[in-house]
Structure 1
Amino acid sequence: MPTVLIIEDDPNVCKFITVNLSQRGYRTLTATNGEDGLAQARAEQPDLILLDLKLPGADGWATLETLRADPDLLGIPVVIITASAVKEEERRARQLGAMSYLVKPISVQQLVTTVRAALGERE
């Protein structure tokens, strides 16, 4: 069962993602800020990280940079899930190593399709 770490400070978004992924057989872990997310990533070595950019403390940008600078975490795919539809932010996220960039609100289909693609799974 693949493990997905969700780093998201909005409890409603976090619940939406957790419920929909759990129903499809994924193990989910959650963190509400970048520091806790990085600690869980190091401890659990998840198969995928879903990362919000607007977080308290170390924001998603700093968290993404740290994930990509750490040799132990470098291979974990990261999908950005954010409210920002600014194209420059999407470009920056991809340059920093994000695999995908989803703009909230997201549908269940978008979520599941993106997670499966990031994990190399077939529909």
Structure 2
Amino acid sequence: MTDKTGERRPAGELEASVLAALWAARGPRSAAQVRDAIPQDLARTTVATLLARLQEKGVIDRRPGGRGFLYFPVEDAHGLTARRMHRELDQDGDRGVVLARFVEGLSSDDEAELRRLLEGGGQ
């Protein structure tokens, strides 16, 4: 994907900017509003492509509004991170080994927080 100057930018960086703009918004936004809210100077078609890709991934959704669609995030940033963690876990055949290796890499503070959550301590 390129900006108006023809410079190629990583799709992950651009998707992150679009998501950040949608998370910061106080409701659904049009593609033009998203374009105005992101720091990169992108072509209209690039923003439309990013929104379509994020929708295909199930990260955002849209509803009719005005002359087009209004876009909104399906979940917050924390929910998206949790979804990614689940997806990675689901891709390995031995969940027990993956979880054990994950727990081995936790700091003592993270381990204590995980224990608290597992014992019903909530968020």
TM-score norm. by structure 1 comes to 0.28
User: Which is helix-richer, 1 or 2?
Assistant: 2
Greater Rg by CA: 2
Structure having the higher strand fraction is 1
